[in-house]
C-alpha cells in the first residue's frame, strides 16, 4: 500500500493525499492525455511513457499548448468527476475532501485549486516517472 503524502498549502493548512486505486488513476491519465492531444501537443506510443517538458522554455508553442491543456483539464467534466472520486481518499486539515467541505467553509475555498492540482498531480505522476524527475529537478 502506498504511504499518504502531506503537503502544506499556501494557507498553512495540511493536505494529506492517498493515491487512488489503479482504475480511477488510469481514467485520469487517459483524460489528461486527451487534453494534451487536443491542445496540439503530439505524443506517440514511445513518448507517452517518457513525457519530458524540460525544454518547455525553449518553445512558445509548447508553453501555450501546455497552458491550454491545463485549462482544459481544469474545466473537463470527466476529470472533475475523477478528481472528486480521488479526493474522497484525501483530507484537508483533517477533514475529508468533498464538495461539502468547500460548501461549508468559505475559508477553505482559497485552497481549492491548489488542492485539486496536487491531488491530480500526485495521482498521475506514477504513470510518468520521467516527468516526476523533471518536476523535482525544477523545484530544487
At 127 the pLDDT is: 83
- Of 27-36, 76-85, 92-101, 105-114, least confident by mean pLDDT is 27-36
User: Alpha-carbon distance 6 to 16, whole Å?
Assistant: 4
**For the chain, what are the domain ranges?**
5-139
Question: Is the pLDDT assigned to residue 56 strictly greater than 70?
Answer: no
* CB-based contact 37:13 (threshold 8 Å): no
At 36 the pLDDT is: 81
Query: What pairs with residue 14 in β-bridges?
Result: 8
pTM above 0.85, yes or no: no
Q: Higher-confidence residue: 42 or 54?
A: 42
* CB-based contact 33:20 (threshold 8 Å): no
Amino acid at each position: 500500500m502506498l504511504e499518504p503524502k502531506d503537503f502544506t498549502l499556501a494557507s498553512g493548512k495540511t493536505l494529506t493525499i492517498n493515491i487512488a486505486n489503479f482504475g480511477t488513476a488510469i481514467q485520469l491519465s487517459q483524460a489528461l492525455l486527451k487534453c494534451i492531444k487536443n491542445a496540439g501537443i503530439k505524443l506517440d506510443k514511445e513518448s507517452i511513457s517518457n513525457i519530458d517538458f524540460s525544454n518547455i522554455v525553449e518553445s512558445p508553442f509548447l508553453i501555450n499548448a501546455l497552458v491550454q491543456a491545463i485549462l482544459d483539464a481544469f474545466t473537463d467534466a470527466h476529470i472533475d468527476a475523477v478528481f472528486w472520486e480521488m479526493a474522497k481518499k484525501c483530507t484537508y486539515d483533517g477533514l475529508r475532501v468533498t464538495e461539502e467541505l468547500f460548501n461549508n467553509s468559505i475559508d477553505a475555498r482559497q485552497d481549492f485549486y491548489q488542492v485539486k492540482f496536487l491531488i491530480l498531480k500526485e495521482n498521475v505522476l506514477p504513470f510518468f516517472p520521467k516527468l516526476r524527475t523533471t518536476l523535482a529537478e525544477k523545484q530544487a
